[in-house]
Chain A
Amino acid sequence: MKTQKNEHELFLRKNKLKKIKIIVIQVSLLIFLIGLWELAAALGWIDSFITSSPSRIVAMLGKLSEQGLWVHIWTTLYECVIGFLLSTLLGIAIAVLLWCSELLRKVLEPYIVVLNSLPKIALGPIIIIWVGAGAKAIVMMTVLICIIVTVISTLNGLMATDEGKILLLRSMGANKWQILTKLVLPSSVPTFLSVLKINVGLAWVGTIMGEYLVSSAGLGYLIIYGGQVFKLDLVMTSTVILCVLAAAMYFVVALIEKFVRKT
């Protein structure tokens, strides 16, 4: 018993060391890449007018923060989060509805398939005309990009519920609502979590695509604008901020997942 415990401790310590090692390498790699980029720019190996450089990005950050950077960040973040929440909730609701009715499922199947393969960006002009060229259009684009995938993945998850368990509930006299709430939804929690993760990524795609299409503010707008006037510093800076935001949002979802798995 005693030696077993020691062995376990050893195992834990080894595991921890491994984790620390990975993090150290990851951080070093990042520092190395940034350093290399800066060095290459400083020594003229690359043209920093085209590639920008870490120091120029920092300078640009300083400049931007005096010129309403927060407004841009806030705009994009807001559109992305609203689009994410809306498409996730709506998509799950639609999937549940489709689970409930076989008729509806069969009827809507071809529509969903077509909508899924349609490049949503093609709907840009229609969206602008319908809801106007503003944040609404961008949220709409985000929802369009996320929702079909949400519906399909969620429905697949719901339909994969163990038939035997459904049979058990039915033999107990359960109705459809009880089967849904006592079995299908709880057993689909892993599906919901993976849908959340997929949507975090897709929501950013939708938001930035929307901002490319129509916008007067936001990080997507800054990137497009920077490209048009050939200010690569602006493009790179906005991209870096975008990376940080996307990572932060993924991190939040990962935290939610960890919390849910615990309970």
Chain B
Amino acid sequence: MEILKMENVSLTYQTAERETKAIENISLTIDDGEFIALVGPSGCGKTTILSLISGLIKPSQGTITLKDRPVTGPGHGVGYMLQKDMLFEWRTIEKNVLLGPEIGHKVDDEIKNEANELLRKYGLYEFRKHYPAQLSGGMRQRAALIRTLAMRPQLMLLDEPFSALDFQTRLNVCNDVYNIIKSEKKTALLVTHDISEAVSLADRVIVLSARPATVKKTFTIDLAQGPLLRRESAEFGKWFDLIWKEVVS
């Protein structure tokens, strides 16, 4: 079933100095339960696409629909996870996780139990009364993911969520995040610079052109599931080369 549909979406940023055409005529659909990776040269407009889907900015042209309802503004079924974990240092992990429901005035026992259940499942329950500063980078990123999940999003947007982590942590957190998203049966759209990350995670990899971004090519990756398995598979390198050539060409 289709969750997201972008049709001929374009966006031009207006500033005093110039007009910047960030994305042009992008159409894409995402099905329920899919894991999509967006790759493209830096500055091509990847973050802009996520901002559009989340409703933070409005397209200059085209339409975006989320579960058949047009996206009119933020706060409707999209969970946005940013590069840094953006945890609030003065809130406990538990309170951080409940931030989304709090903003939507939806905190009740049910959502609290749900949040606690997520914390328990993903190994942060003992740390729920701790402050972010007391957690490691990987744990913080997991907390940020649970905060996104607690919003009960229909679609999760992840903007280079691992790039602030060192390489070793990155592989682990990447694996964690993948498993959590899959076991919660969420649909995800991940933006990344890292092609190997895209190949190891995604069902489909969408390659964007340089700015203004257009969809250059879509690859359906038919490898075994799970980042660790995929990284070890013989065909991993083949996919990597294929996509890499498309990105740089």
Tell me the chain B residues, 81-112 only, with Cβ under 8 Å from chain A: 82-84, 86, 88-90, 99-100, 102-104
- Residues of chain A at the chain B interface (Cβ within 8 Å): 162, 164-165, 167-174, 178, 182-183, 186-187, 189
Across the interface, do B104 and A173 meet the contact criterion of CB distance under 8 Å? yes
Name the residue among A164, A168, A173, A189 with the largest chain B CB count within 10 angstroms: A168
Q: How far is the CA of A171 from the CA of B55 in the complex (A)?
A: 7
Contact status of A165 and B99, CB under 8 A, knowing A170-B56, A170-B74: no
User: Are B56 and A165 within 8 A (Cβ)?
Assistant: no
B56 touches A172 (CB 8 A): no
The CA-CA distance from A67 to B76 in the complex, in Å, is 72
Interface membership of chain B positions 104-132, coded 1 if the CB is closer than 8 angstroms to chain A and 0 otherwise: 10000000000000000000000000000
Question: B54 touching A171 by the CB < 8 A rule?
Answer: yes
Describe A's contact surface by its main secondary structure: helix
How distant is the Cα of A173 from the Cα of B102 in the complex, in angstroms? 11
Determine the chain B residues whose CB is within 8 A of the CB of A165 once the complex forms: 86, 88
Chain B interfacial positions (CB closer than 8 Å to A): 54-56, 73-76, 78, 80, 82-84, 86, 88-90, 99-100, 102-104, 151
Distance of A165 Cα from B84 Cα, bound (Å):
9
Q: A182-B99, A182-B103, A186-B88 are in contact. Are A173 and B82 (CB under 8 A)?
A: no
Closest residue of chain B to A189 (Cβ to Cβ) is B90
B55: which A residues are within 8 A, CB to CB? 171
Q: Across the two chains, which residue of chain B brings its CB closest to A169?
A: B103
Taken together as a complex, chains A and B put the C-alpha atoms of A186 and B84 apart, in Å, by 19
CB distance from A263 to the nearest CB of B (A): 9
Q: Is the CB of B103 within 8 A of A174?
A: yes
Please give, as numbers and ranges, the residues of chain A lying within 8 Å of B104 by CB-CB distance: 172-173
Q: A164-B82, A164-B84, A182-B103 known; A172 and B90 CB under 8 Å?
A: no
18 contacts between A and B (CB under 8 A): A164-B83, A164-B84, A164-B86, A167-B56, A168-B80, A169-B103, A170-B56, A171-B54, A171-B80, A172-B99, A173-B74, A173-B75, A173-B76, A173-B103, A174-B75, A182-B88, A183-B88, A187-B88
CA distance A189 to B102 in the complex (A): 21
Q: Report B-chain residues with C-beta under 8 Å of the C-beta of A173.
A: 73-76, 103-104
Most buried by B among A167, A168, A171, A187: A171
Given contacts A182-B99, A182-B102, A182-B103, contact A171 B86 (CB under 8 A): no
Q: CB-nearest residue of chain B relative to A179?
A: B103
Residue numbers in A under 8 Å from B54 (CB-CB): 171
A6–B53 CA distance with the chains assembled, in angstroms: 57
Closest-CB distance, A158 to chain B (whole angstroms):
15
B82 to chain A, nearest CB (A): 6
Let me know if B74 and A171 touch, CB within 8 A.
yes
* CB pair B74 A187 closer than 8 Å: no
Residues from chain B with a CB closer than 8 A to the CB of A162 are 86
In angstroms, Cα B179 to Cα A221, docked, is: 74
Q: Are B88 and A172 in contact (CB under 8 A)?
A: no
CA–CA, A162 and B87, complex, Å: 11
The answer to whether B82 and A172 touch across the interface, beta carbons within 8 angstroms, is no
Bound CA–CA A170/B100 (angstroms): 10
Q: Which 8 A-B residue pairings sit nearest by Cβ, starting from the closest?
A: A173-B75, A171-B80, A172-B103, A174-B103, A168-B86, A173-B74, A172-B100, A171-B54
Determine the residue in chain B with the shortest Cβ distance to A171.
B80
The reply to whether B75 and A172 contact each other, CB–CB distance below 8 Å, is: yes
What is the CA–CA distance of A74 and B104 in the complex, to the nearest angstrom?
51
CA distance A76 to B36 in the complex (A): 69
Cα distance A189–B89 in the bound complex, in angstroms: 12
Cα A174 to Cα B76 in complex, Å, equals: 11
Expressed in whole angstroms, the minimum distance between the Cβ of B33 and any Cβ of chain A is 22
Docked complex Cα distance between A152 and B93 (Å): 33
Is A171 within 8 A of B78, CB to CB? yes
